[in-house]
Amino acid sequence: MIPLYPLNTYSDLSFFALLFAGFMGLAIGSFINVVADRLIHDEPLSGRSHCDYCKKTLSFMDLIPVFSYLFLRGRCRYCHKKLSFQYPLVEFLTGCLFILVVLLSPQADMLHIVLYWGIVSSAWIIFISDLKYQLISDSVQLTFFVFVFLLKLIERATLFSLGFDVISGVMVALPIGLIYLISRERAMGLGDVILAFIIGFLFGMGKGFLALYFGFVIGAVVGIALILSQKKKLKSSISFGPFLILGMIIVALWGDVLLQGIKRIYGI
Ligand SMILES: [Zn+2]
Query: If you measure from the C-alpha of residue 129 to the centroid of ligand 1, how many angstroms do you get, rounded to a whole number?
Result: 23
For the stretch 220-251, what's the b/e string if a residue is b when 16 or more beta carbons lie within 10 angstroms of its beta carbon? eeebeeeeeeeebeeeeebbbbbbbbbbbbbb
More confident residue, 15 or 7: 15
Mean pLDDT lowest for which of 76-80, 98-102, 143-147, 245-249?
76-80
**pLDDT tier at 62, thresholds 50, 70, 90:** confident
Would you list the domain boundaries of the chain?
1-156, 158-268
Query: If you measure from the C-alpha of residue 76 to the centroid of ligand 1, how many angstroms do you get, rounded to a whole number?
Result: 5
How much is the pTM?
0.87
Q: Tell me the mean pLDDT in the region 99-123.
A: 93
Query: If you measure from the C-alpha of residue 33 to the centroid of ligand 1, how many angstroms do you get, rounded to a whole number?
Result: 17
Q: Tell me the mean pLDDT in the region 181-198.
A: 90
Query: If you measure from the C-alpha of residue 54 to the centroid of ligand 1, how many angstroms do you get, rounded to a whole number?
Result: 4
Query: If you measure from the C-alpha of residue 55 to the centroid of ligand 1, how many angstroms do you get, rounded to a whole number?
Result: 6
Q: Is residue 14 pLDDT above 60, yes or no?
A: yes
Q: Tell me the mean pLDDT in the region 133-152.
A: 93
For residue 253, which of 194, 197, 203 has the smallest C-alpha distance? 203
Q: What are the Cα distances from residue 131, in Å, to 48, 85, 125, 264?
A: 25, 15, 10, 36
**pLDDT tier at 4, thresholds 50, 70, 90:** very low
Q: What is the largest CA-CA distance in the chain?
A: 66
Confidence (pLDDT) at 153: 94
CB atoms within 10 A of CB 208: 27
Query: How many angstroms separate the CA atoms of 96 and 23, rounded?
Result: 10
| CA angle (104 as vertex; 245, 13 as ends), nearest 5 | 145
Query: DSSP H helical segments within 183-240, as ranges?
Result: 190-228
For residue 101, which of 7, 32, 1, 211 has the smallest C-alpha distance? 7
Confidence (pLDDT) at 146: 98
Query: If you measure from the C-alpha of residue 59 to the centroid of ligand 1, how many angstroms do you get, rounded to a whole number?
Result: 12
Q: Tell me the mean pLDDT in the region 129-155.
A: 93
Angle between helices 159-182 and 138-154 (to 10 degrees): 150
Query: If you measure from the C-alpha of residue 255 to the centroid of ligand 1, how many angstroms do you get, rounded to a whole number?
Result: 45
Query: How many angstroms separate the CA atoms of 121 and 105, rounded?
Result: 16
Q: Which residues, 6 or more positions from 48, have their beta carbon under 8 angstroms from its beta carbon?
A: 57, 58
**pLDDT tier at 1, thresholds 50, 70, 90:** very low
Query: If you measure from the C-alpha of residue 44 to the centroid of ligand 1, how many angstroms do you get, rounded to a whole number?
Result: 21
Confidence (pLDDT) at 2: 41
Query: If you measure from the C-alpha of residue 134 to the centroid of ligand 1, how many angstroms do you get, rounded to a whole number?
Result: 27
- On whether the CB atoms of residues 23 and 95 are closer than 8 A, the answer is yes
For residue 103, which of 172, 237, 13, 213 has the smallest C-alpha distance? 13
- Over residues 27-51, the pLDDT tens digits come to 999 999 888 888 877 777 777 778 8
Query: How many angstroms separate the CA atoms of 133 and 140, rounded?
Result: 14
More confident residue, 63 or 99: 99
Query: If you measure from the C-alpha of residue 239 to the centroid of ligand 1, how many angstroms do you get, rounded to a whole number?
Result: 31
Amino acid at 245: I
Mean pLDDT lowest for which of 16-20, 38-42, 135-139, 141-145?
38-42
